[in-house]
Structure 1
C-alpha cells in the first residue's frame, strides 16, 4: 500500500497534472504526470506482499541481563522470477506488555534462494521477552509503496537477573534426639511416595501389597527430611518496592539461590504474591538453577500479603534457614517475621533500596539477622561480613 510519502506524491502529482493542463502550463503538467507515473511504477514494483518462508533461531534463549542474545532469521524466497528487496522488523513484547521493535538488516533475495541475517536482542533489563512475529516488507527505492506481511510465531526469551558471588551460605539446622538444635547434614529418612519399580531398585523397598493390587511392582521412595535447606522468600509486592529496588531485590535473591545450589543445598523459592518452586519441581542435574532463574526473570510487581506468606511457611518442619528479601517499602510490615523464629532456627531479613538502612534500623527484630543495602552488590558484601549464622 502507498506510504505517506507515496500518498503525498500521488496527490500533488495529480493536482499538478490537472492544474497544469487546465492552465496551459505543459511543464507543470509534465511534472505532475511524472509523479503519478512514479507512484504507479512503485505499485507494480512493490505492491505485492513478500513471497517467502521464514525460520527464526535464538541463541541462547536464556541469558543474564547485559549478556548478548542473537537472533538469526533464514528467509527462503518462494517467488518464481523476481528478486525481492526486503526490510523487516522483529516485534518484541515484554512481560510488562511494553511493545517495541528491532530492525532487521535489509536483504536482497533472488527467486528460490535462501538468505540469512542476524541481529541482537535487547537484554539490558531483566524480564521475559516474546520475540515475533517477524514483519517483512517490500519497498520501492523511493519509499512510495510498502507491502508488509508477518511471518512465524513468537519465541520466548528469559533474561535472568544479575547475581553476585557469595562466599558462603548457612547450612541450616536440625533438632537432634536430645532436643538440641545442631548444624548437621544428616537426619531421618521419611516415606515420600510410591512409584513404579525400575531396574536397580532395592527389592527391600518393594511395597508388596500395593504391587499385588495394581499388578506391577511398586517401590517406596524415601527422602532425607533434615538435609540442609534454604527457603528464599522474595517480597514482590508493588507497595514494598520502587522499580529499581525490585530489580536489586531480585538480584540479591538470585545471589543467595546460586550460592546455595553451588553448596549442594536444597533450595525453595517463594514469592509473597503466591508463586513458588521447590527442589523436587526444579529437578536436578547441571541445569537445576534454570527453573529458579526463570521464575525470578518473570517476577513483576503485584499484590499479596506478607502475613499470609508467613503463615504458609510456618507449616514447614524445623531445620531450615529462611531468607526474606524485600524493599525499603516493606520494612514497615516485618512484624510477622518474628513468628518464624520457632520454625526456622536461622532467619535472615534483607532490605534493599534507597533508605533501607534508616528504615530497617527503626525496626526491632529480636533473634533475626538483618541486612540493609542500597543495591545487590552492597548486599553481597554485607552478607559475606556476617560472622556467624
Structure 2
C-alpha cells in the first residue's frame, strides 16, 4: 500500500492539529485533526478492498518474424458483486506500459482491449501482468496489485529463402540428394547390364521378364547431418547501436534461414551456441525455456526439433539467444565438436571480431567433410581461402542468403 503526497500531508496535519489541540486545549483543532486522521484511515480501508477481476490474454499470433505484425487482445471481467469504481490499470508490454480503461466496470461485465506488440527487435516480449491500482475518492492512498499471468510473444529472426543445402559426405536414405555414390548397401534402381558388371548383381527374374540382363543399382546410404554453430560471444560482435549488435542479428537470421531450408528438405540439423548464456532466474521464470541453456559452451538449441511450434524449437530458441561475456568459449566448443563429430557439415556464423580465431574452426576440417563460415559486418572481405574454409562475407542475412545460393562447391 502506498500513501500519496496528499495523504502524507493530511496525515502530518492530523498529527500536528491533534497535538496542538490537546496541548493548548483547543477543541476545534482537535476536531479537525481527528477528522483528518479519520479521512486517512477511511482512504486506507477503501484502497485495501481487492476488486475481483479475471484477466485473459490472446496473442495473435504468438510467434512472428522480426518486423511482422502481432497484437495482444486483453479481456478483463468483473466477477465481484460490487461496482469496481475508481480503478486505474495498465498492462506491461515489453518495456512499455499500455493504459487499460477500467472505470466503473459493472459486475458480470467485461471490457476488451486490443493493442499492437512491438516486433522491431528479435527476442521474447513478455506481456503482462495487468497492474490495477485502487485509489480512494480523495486520492490519499493508492494500492497496486497484479492480475493475470505473463504471456510471451516470440519474435523470430527474419527467414530468407535458400535453395541449396549442403549435405556433406552423407546422402539421404531414399536417394533424394543428387550425386548419390554407387555402393552395396541399399537397393536404388535397375539398369541394363554393361561390360564389367558383376554377375552376382544381375536381377535374373527381371532379366527373364524383359528379355535382357538387368543389374541392381545399390547406393551407400547414410543420414546427412548439418551442424550450425552460432557465435554469441560479445567479442565477436563488437559494434553495437542502441544496445543491439547488428552482426549478431544477421547471424541469427542466417541460422534461422539454414535451419528452415534443412527442415524443408527433411535433413537433420543441429543448432549450437558457442558460449553459454547467463541465466537470470528472476526473468527466466516468466519465459518458457529461458532457464535451460546453462551448463556448457556447446549447449544444443535444436536437434531435429520442429522449426516452429510450442515445444521450444530452434526458432524459439534463436529468438531468446543473447550475447555472452564468455569470450574464451570458442576453443571449448571446437574441442567438443572435434571429439563428438556431431555431423558431416559444419556451418560457423560469426561477426567481425571472430575472424581472428577462424583457425580453431579450420582445424575441424578433418572431422567434418564441409566447413562453411559466414562472417557478418566485417569492414573488409575475409582473405580468400582463410584456414582452408569456404567463407561467405555478408552485411546482413539477405546478402548471406544470396551469396549462399551462389556457392558451387561445398
Q: Same fold (TM over 0.5)?
A: yes
Structure 2 counterpart of 1:295: 317
Structure 2 counterpart of 1:136: 132
Deviation at 1:124, TM superposition (A): 1.8
Unaligned runs of 5+ in 1: 19-34, 94-99, 176-181, 191-223
- Whether 1:371 aligns to 2:392 is yes
Q: Deviations over 1:176-232 (max 9, x none)?
A: xxxxxx943998989xxxxxxxxxxxxxxxxxxxxxxxxxxxxxxxxx972232211
* Matched ranges for 1:62-101 at <5 A: 62-91=63-92, 100-101=95-96
* Matched ranges for 1:1-150 at <5 A: 4=4, 6-7=6-7, 10=10, 48-91=49-92, 100-108=95-103, 109-139=105-135, 145-150=141-146
Deviation at 1:339, TM superposition (A): 1.9
- Whole-Å Cα distance in 2 between the matches of residues 240 and 300 of structure 1? 13
Query: Relative to 1, partners in 2 of residues 1:289 and 1:338: Cα closer, same or farther, differing over 3 Å?
Result: farther
Deviation at 1:36, TM superposition (A): 11
Secondary structure of 2:101's counterpart equals: strand
Deviation at 1:105, TM superposition (A): 2.4
Deviation at 1:374, TM superposition (A): 1.9
* Matched ranges for 1:115-194 at <5 A: 115-139=111-135, 145-174=141-170, 183-184=179-180
Secondary structure of 1:341's counterpart equals: helix
- Whole-Å Cα distance in 1 between the matches of residues 378 and 5 of structure 2? 50
Deviation at 1:138, TM superposition (A): 3.3
Structure 2 counterpart of 1:332: 356
Query: Relative to 1, partners in 2 of residues 1:118 and 1:186: Cα closer, same or farther, differing over 3 Å?
Result: farther
Contact kept, 8 Å, 1:269 with 1:278, in 2: the verdict is: yes
- Whole-Å Cα distance in 2 between the matches of residues 184 and 85 of structure 1? 73
Q: Deviations over 1:275-306 (max 9, x none)?
A: 214544x159x859960101211211122522
Contact kept, 8 Å, 1:76 with 1:115, in 2: the verdict is: yes
- Whether 1:232 aligns to 2:228 is yes
Q: Which moved more, 1:55-64 or 1:315-324?
A: 315-324
Query: Relative to 1, partners in 2 of residues 1:283 and 1:70: Cα closer, same or farther, differing over 3 Å?
Result: closer
Secondary structure of 1:107's counterpart equals: coil
- Whole-Å Cα distance in 2 between the matches of residues 144 and 186 of structure 1? 85
Higher strand share: 1
Q: Which moved more, 1:225-234 or 1:266-275?
A: 225-234
The CA RMSD over aligned residues, in Å, is 4.1
- Whole-Å Cα distance in 2 between the matches of residues 239 and 382 of structure 1? 25
The structure with more radius of gyration:
2
Q: Deviations over 1:350-375 (max 9, x none)?
A: 111242x34x22x8525311011222
- Count the aligned residue pairs: 335
- Whole-Å Cα distance in 1 between the matches of residues 322 and 158 of structure 2? 16
Unaligned runs of 5+ in 2: 19-35, 172-177, 187-219, 239-243, 276-297
Contact kept, 8 Å, 1:78 with 1:111, in 2: the verdict is: yes
Taking structure 1 as the reference length, what is the TM-score of the superposition? 0.70
Contact kept, 8 Å, 1:347 with 1:368, in 2: the verdict is: yes
Structure 2 counterpart of 1:349: 373
Secondary structure of 2:102's counterpart equals: strand
Structure 2 counterpart of 1:200: none
